[in-house]
């Protein structure tokens, strides 16, 4: 494929809805210049790439990744011991694994001391929207990533520092987490005043705030502080998931974007940390699916994000499985796909540039073998990936798709 070309596929999804009869997507100088019915006359004088039986859609967007983490059992702690060269190799591998799975943009929410934000991306890597190291309490969840702060002055300084490093979002850890030894995901790390101080300054600087929150009290703090997004939003208690109706109403009324962090390799068990939480609280995956289904039914915006990199069952490149799990929650396929394309783009501040098959948008494209409307597994069968108008995966590029199971093996190596 050159700088100008057309992809013609039997099926198409435009970031919000399926286009009946498929589509032709014409690309020129990095942008989508036309989206036409598949049956329209073909353009003269430029390559047309036929993809019979396939679906063309916007490149996928993973809204929650840890690019510095390589899928090891103790990935978040291990990163603190890596050298700069080792960290760069992990970052590079993480981003390429995302691209091979059809992901053209990621939101990094687990940076280590600005390694991601201060890095210059490469043309064959996905676009990265970064938060810098997550803001946490001294010795708290993810403290090894370098985001520990104390007191109102420390919180405001942390927001300003991330703004200076070019962050596209601020992440604060309102509850503890499972992947940090000694942290308890049922415990509150910040109160309303602390989170509100972060939100007020971040908004003044033009940055959204997304908050890690597992317990019911931590989600309630997020609502009162008026964060823009919540990661996990598990509403976990000592006796399992218990989501109060007033919490669901608050999330819907404020239109807080929730990323349930679904998506893992189905042939691998959950992490030992997740299994301990299940034994302690009685939480089940089916309870989680039911809860997220309630959020969707109430009108809470949902986006697809995987927590990629944090353990072997969650290597980079498993966003297709996140979409499948949203289907298991009861979302229709168009809503689940939108959560990984158009809706994800809006949540990451990219809605004006990518996430849609529309004229004038950046040509971040994915072609998969089959029709996800009938078989969501088609999303794992990547044929072509186009990054900013440049084919990087597919015939003639020198880089071919790899099965997600292979990505998982690389994450464990």
Boundaries of every domain in the chain: 4-58+351-412, 60-347
319-328 and 285-298 helices cross at what angle (nearest 10)? 80
Q: Coil, strand or helix: which one is 344?
A: helix
pLDDT for res 413: 26
What local confidence, expressed as pLDDT, does residue 191 receive? 97
pTM, two decimal places: 0.94
Taking the C-alpha atoms of residue 193 and residue 152, their distance in angstroms, rounded to an integer, is: 9
Cα separation, 203 vs 191, in Å, equals 18
In the predicted model, residues of the chain with pLDDT beneath 50 are: 1, 402-413
pLDDT at 396: 56
Answer yes or no: are the C-beta atoms of 371 and 55 closer than 8 Å: yes
Q: What per-residue confidence (pLDDT) applies to 2?
A: 55
Query: Is the separation of the CB atoms in 325 and 289 below 8 Å?
Result: yes
- Supply the CATH classification number for the domain 60-347: 3.20.20.140
pLDDT of residue 404: 32
4-58+351-412 matches 60-347 in fold: no
pLDDT at 398: 58
Task: Tell me the three state secondary structure of residue 160.
Answer: helix
Distance CA 341, CA 303 (A): 9
Kindly report the number of other CB atoms within 10 A of residue 204's CB atom.
10
Phi, psi of 54 (to 5 degrees): -105, 170
Q: C-alpha 142: how far from its chain's center?
A: 18
> CA-to-CA distance for 285 and 320, rounded, in angstroms?
18
Residue from 328, 397, 302, 392 nearest 103 by CA = 392
Fold of 4-58+351-412: Urease, subunit C; domain 1 (2.30.40)
Give me the pLDDT at residue 105, please: 98
Determine the Cα–Cα distance for residues 278 and 337; give it in Å rounded to an integer. Answer: 29
User: What Cα–Cα distance (Å) separates residue 187 from each residue in 87, 191, 244?
Assistant: 31, 11, 18
């Amino acid at each position: 494929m050159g700088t100008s070309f057309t992809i013609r596929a039997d099926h198409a999804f435009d970031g919000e809805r399926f286009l009946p009869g498929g589509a032709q997507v014409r690309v020129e100088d990095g942008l989508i210049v036309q989206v036409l019915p598949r049956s329209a006359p073909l353009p003269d004088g430029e390559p047309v790439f036929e993809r019979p039986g396939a679906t063309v859609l916007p490149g996928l967007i993973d809204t929650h990744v840890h690019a510095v983490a390589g899928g090891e059992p103790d990935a978040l702690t291990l990163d603190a011991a890596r050298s700069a060269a080792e960290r760069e190799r992990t970052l590079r591998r993480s981003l390429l694994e995302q691209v091979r799975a059809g992901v053209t943009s990621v939101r990094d929410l687990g940076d280590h001391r600005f390694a991601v934000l201060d890095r210059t991306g490469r043309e064959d890597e996905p676009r990265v929207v970064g938060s810098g190291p997550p803001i946490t309490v001294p010795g708290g969840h993810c403290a090894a990533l370098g985001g520990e702060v104390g007191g109102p002055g420390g919180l405001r300084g942390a927001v300003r520092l991330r703004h200076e490093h070019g962050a596209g979002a601020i992440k604060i850890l309102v509850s503890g987490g499972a992947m940090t030894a000694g942290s308890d995901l049922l415990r509150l790390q910040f109160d309303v005043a602390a989170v509100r101080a972060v939100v007020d300054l971040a908004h003044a600087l033009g940055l959204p705030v997304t908050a890690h929150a597992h317990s019911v009290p931590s989600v309630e703090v997020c609502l009162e502080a008026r964060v823009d997004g919540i990661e996990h939003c598990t509403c976990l208690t000592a006796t399992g998931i218990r989501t109060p109706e007033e919490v669901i109403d608050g999330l819907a009324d404020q239109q807080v974007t929730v990323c349930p962090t679904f998506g893992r390799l189905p042939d691998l068990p959950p992490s030992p940390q997740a299994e301990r939480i299940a034994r302690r609280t009685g939480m089940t995956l089916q309870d989680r699916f039911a809860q997220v289904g309630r959020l969707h039914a109430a009108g809470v915006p949902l986006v697809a994000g995987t927590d990629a990199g944090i353990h072997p069952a969650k290597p980079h490149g498993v966003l297709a499985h996140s979409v499948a799990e949203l289907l298991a929650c009861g979302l229709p396929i168009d809503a689940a796909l939108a959560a990984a394309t158009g809706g994800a783009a809006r949540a990451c501040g990219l809605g004006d540039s990518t996430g849609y098959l529309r004229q004038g948008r950046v040509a971040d494209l994915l072609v998969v073998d089959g029709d996800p409307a009938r078989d969501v597994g088609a999303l794992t069968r990547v044929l072509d990936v186009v990054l900013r108008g440049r084919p990087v995966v597919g015939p003639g590029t020198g880089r071919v798709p790899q099965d997600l199971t292979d990505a998982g093996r690389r994450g464990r190596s």
